[in-house]
Amino acid sequence: MAADDSAETGTQQIRDAIRDAIVERRLSPGTKLSESDVGNLFNVSRTLARAALQALSYEGLVSVEKNRGAFVAYPSPEEARQIFAARRLVEPGILREAATRITPTDIRHLKQLLLEEGRLIGERGQTARRAEIKASGDFHLALAVISGNAIMQRFMDELVARSSLVIALYGQSTVSSCGHSEHGDIVTAIENKDLDEACRLMLHHIAHIEADLDLRQRKNLGLKEALKR
């Protein structure tokens, strides 16, 4: 079956590379992404660089400002709230759908992810930390995949990626891994066919992540969009 011939190889590749960099927080919110720089970096013309940046702006990961250029998105506290509100709204539903379709293979795969996640938490260093961030999101994404709904899957892709930005900006505890065991609990609940409990745990988990945020308005930000560079 035709999986994905949507985007022209070049653009897709750049888009994915930049997105990974944003999600893994190698690129900080507010960083300027000039079309020429991106193009040179990937040895393509501005045309493709621009297309990639446009694509990322549709996902909410970069914001392009007319005649000023593209920047890694700098979500406002209000945006952050909406992102997590959206997750609270959709993730229980996705979880329910996934639970009805889940196979033993899927469960094994989920546990594999959990194991990997746990391993990374133990390790030291920037690289491990970044991989851990990605792994944490991958768990939620995996549930969306299992749900079998490509549309919800793409939506979750966007939400998880944007969440990473929000946590980078407003997260307090240096370790975002506090919720790792909660992932395991959710899987257990699914195994026990206790959907209500699984949903409850999921909502609790999301609330837990959100509770670690400090969403108070940044100092005198906003009078000139502050430190946009």
Partner DNA sequence: GACGCCTAGATTGTATACGATTTTTTGCTT
Partner DNA sequence: AAGCAAAAAATCGTATACAATCTAGGCGTC
Interface with a second copy, residue 89, by CB under 8 A: yes
Task: Give me the phi and psi of 64, to 5 degrees please.
Answer: -105, 130
Q: Residue 32 or 111: which CB sits closer to DNA?
A: 32
- Do 95 and 54 contact (CB within 8 A), yes or no? no
Interface positions, 65-94, toward DNA (CB under 7 A): 66-70
Using CB under 7 A, which of 1, 4, 6, 9 touches DNA? 9
Query: Should residue 152 be labelled a site residue for a second copy when binding is judged by CB under 8 A?
Result: yes
Query: Under the criterion CB under 7 A, does residue 214 sit at the interface with DNA?
Result: no
Residue 66 in the binding site for a second copy (CB under 8 A): yes
Query: Smallest distance from the beta carbon of 79 to DNA, in angstroms?
Result: 21
| Interface with DNA, residue 40, by CB under 7 A | no
Q: Does 98 interact with a second copy (rule: CB under 8 A)?
A: no
Task: Single out the residue of 35, 117, 132, 157 in contact with DNA (rule: CB under 7 A).
Answer: 35
- Under rule CB under 7 A, residue 50 binds DNA: yes
Count of positions on this chain that bind DNA (CB under 7 A)? 22
Shortest spacing between CB 86 and a second copy, in angstroms:
5
Q: Which residues would be at the binding site for DNA (CB under 7 A)?
A: 8-11, 32, 34-37, 44-48, 50, 64, 66-70, 229
